[in-house]
Amino acid sequence: MDTTQKLIGADWQELINFNRKVELFKGDYSDIADEFVQLMYDKKIIVEGFHWTKFSAGELWMKDDSESKYEKLNDRRFTVELITALVRQDRFATGSIARWFELGIIQKIIARLINN
């Protein structure tokens, strides 16, 4: 399910502004991670009822170390499902999202979401 279909211009602008903020950010990413999670819930990007533990494509995507993996994010549905899985996983592996911010992964995911 593509939960972004209901987003309006102001919602997209908020995502753009958040991504710009992250690009300039230096320091501990835990606060940024919390803000990201809240934003994803506020904008209803998180897919309710999605069985993220069975999302093997997302797991394979995260294990892929190549830059070409970001091309798979041209599919907005996959991107939304991936965000959902990452946010939900962080509830059980606290600090995961902050680490993915440090690695630049979340920033690239958000950029792809915005630009598709």
Q: What does the pLDDT look like over 9-36, one tens digit per residue?
A: 899 999 999 999 998 888 889 999 999 9
The reported pLDDT for the residue numbered 1 is 60
45-90 confidence digits (pLDDT tens): 999 888 888 888 888 888 888 888 888 788 888 999 999 999 998 8
Work out the burial of residue 109: count CB atoms within 10 Å of its CB; fewer than 13 is exposed, 13-18 middle, 19 or more buried: buried
The reported pLDDT for the residue numbered 100 is 92
More confident residue, 3 or 59: 59
- Cα 85 from Cα 101, distance rounded (Å): 15
Q: Which residues of 50-85 are buried (b: 16+ CB within 10 A; e: fewer)?
A: bebeebeebeebbeeeeeeebebbeeeebbbbbbbb
The reported pLDDT for the residue numbered 2 is 67
Angle 25-31-36 (CA atoms, 0-180°, nearest 5)? 85
